[in-house]
Amino acid sequence: MKKIVIALLLIGLVITTSIIFLKPTEKEQSNISLLKAKYSKKHVPSVDHSKFAILQKKFNSPQDATAACISCHTERHKEVMHSNHWNWEREEYVQGRGIVYVGKKNAINNFCIGVEGNEQSCAKCHIGFKMTSSMTPLTDPTNIDCLVCHDNSETYAKGNELAGAPDKAVDLNLVAQKVGRPMRSNCGVCHFFGGGGNNVKHGDLESSMFEPSADIDIHMSPETSNLVCVDCHTSENHVMKGKVYSLSSMNRNRSTCEQCHTETPHDAEILNEHTVKVACQTCHIPVYAKENSTKMAWDWSTAGKLKNGEPYTEEDSKGNHTYMSIKGSFTWADSVKPDYIWFNGTADHYLLGDVVNDTTKPIKINTLNGSYADRDSKIIPVKIHRARQPFDPVNKMIIQPKLFSDKKGEGALWVDFNWLRAAKVGMDEVHLPFSGQLAFVRTEMYWPINHMVSSKENTLSCNQCHTRENSRLAGLNDFYMPARDYSSIVEIGGKIIIILTLLGVMVHAGIRISTKRKSKKEVHNEI
């Protein structure tokens, strides 16, 4: 009977605590309402560019349009030309390397591997024109593509393999007269399609985010707050707030949930205590790739196969490429549960020419730093993209192959389908040695998951992490988690504390009862 009473008391305590701390509150609702009221209003440009005479004249080239822009916005081109969007690199401090320049120019990835030598194709997602191997747009301000970010007509599009130039069908005058604050379409046309297709890279950035439902993203949905990218990714002098850790290395100028929601967004203190070590995204993004599949693995070693002398493709039932002669084999997934890591906002990267001595385990293309013991670290969700990519076993370097060319005979893999030739020409163009031998190594690349935020009703529940069976955080073993981990010291110590507490209560109650009886008896005797 005694054990039953104790058990019922403990159950009652747990239920009461849960009701008090986890119940949705009016304060949380009001915060959401305030955010919705602030951001759901449609932005109206303060200036009607269609009335400007300089935008009425016929533009014969995209450079003419840019010249018209900077004739009024006289200093903006200088800001743009100092930005990472323009230079494709930034000065970073990387632990163990010191101060280095990191960017698309020298950072290897495990998708299309590298930019240099393939600029004409990659430039479709550069904010400039005439991007060739000579990098001419970096010195000429008229080669800045103002319209790709500021078009509000939703008719502007870059051309395929035109070194960053717009599609020939674009009406430059129409676009120039309808410019304004960047919309989701301006950002998404590049960031949703990085890596050669919809949702290939990020997993949480894809075409459904142009007009997402509330189930896909509670912030960006027109049904709710209707946020656009630049509401969070604000800019100062054309330098955008936010980091993509495929390239970034330092814990600075990050875009965070706390910008709007503060570091203690919950009324329940037990949840606010979690935010010390758990990022908001960990609970509020239970899955990614909610609408469209994302690429989880890429095997370059199978590239180059032909049918009847011609390249071919294969697709799954959803239309995702599972094989391409020019790229190899792919694995896709939907509604993916993230992996979880410790992250402190700093990273290291595999840079062109780095030597790898141990290929028995996957090479980390980008290493996201952090640990439980690191006071700046929090648990974050990530997509891990795995690949097999070309490697020089003699020089022990990841190979950046020549991929693109507009004609045969220049060694480009996508045209000539010769791996050794593509490796030789590619390494020559980045001024690195090639031994003539080719192997393929396993690599991993980590992509923090920050979008596709679910409503609070659809966040992770406590027992999805605090459980011994299939815990979301099973891979993080450098700390003790209640209900997930077992420690005989903790378990026995906890039981002893409970027993001693109950005994203390009983002894205290017994003393009080005894004292009261004694007091009554003394009063009675006096009477």
Nearest to 263 by CA among 242, 285, 280, 282: 280
User: Which tokens go with 427?
Assistant: 């390494």
The CA-based diameter of the chain, rounded to the nearest angstrom, is 119
Determine, yes or no, domain membership for 32.
Answer: no
State pLDDT tens for residues 417-434: 999 999 999 999 999 999
Determine, yes or no, domain membership for 428.
Answer: no
260 in the same domain as 129? no
pLDDT at 24: 45
CB 119 within 8 A of CB 136: no
CB 322 within 8 A of CB 316: yes
Determine, yes or no, domain membership for 424.
Answer: no
Q: The tokens 């939703």 sit on which residue? A: 154
The CA-based angle 31-36-41, given to 5 degrees, is: 150
Determine, yes or no, domain membership for 408.
Answer: no
497 in the same domain as 478? no
Q: What is the DSSP string of 46-83?
A: SS-GGG-GGGTSPPSSHHHHHHHHHHHSTTHHHHHTTS
220 in the same domain as 164? no
Q: What is the DSSP string of 358-386?
A: --SS-EESEEE---TT-TT-EEEEEEEEE
User: Which tokens go with 379?
Assistant: 């648990």
395 in the same domain as 342? yes
* Averaged pLDDT, groups of 10, the chain, 527 residues long: 51 52 46 61 77 93 96 95 91 92 92 87 89 77 96 93 91 95 94 94 96 96 94 94 92 93 91 95 98 98 96 96 98 98 97 96 97 96 98 98 92 96 95 97 98 95 94 94 85 86 88 75 59
State pLDDT tens for residues 320-340: 999 999 999 999 999 999 999
User: Which tokens go with 348?
Assistant: 């290291």
159 in the same domain as 67? yes
pLDDT at 40: 58
Name the domain count of the chain: 3
443 in the same domain as 307? yes
Determine, yes or no, domain membership for 347.
Answer: yes
56 in the same domain as 158? yes
170 in the same domain as 244? no
- Residue range of the domain that includes 75: 47-80+112-193
What three-state secondary structure class fits 247? coil
Determine, yes or no, domain membership for 212.
Answer: yes
Determine, yes or no, domain membership for 25.
Answer: no
Strands 397-398, 347-349: pairing is unpaired
470 in the same domain as 504? no
208 in the same domain as 132? no
For 163-251, where are the E strands, in sequence order? Answer: 235-236, 239-240
pLDDT at 200: 97
pLDDT at 338: 98
Determine, yes or no, domain membership for 458.
Answer: yes
206 in the same domain as 189? no
129 in the same domain as 63? yes
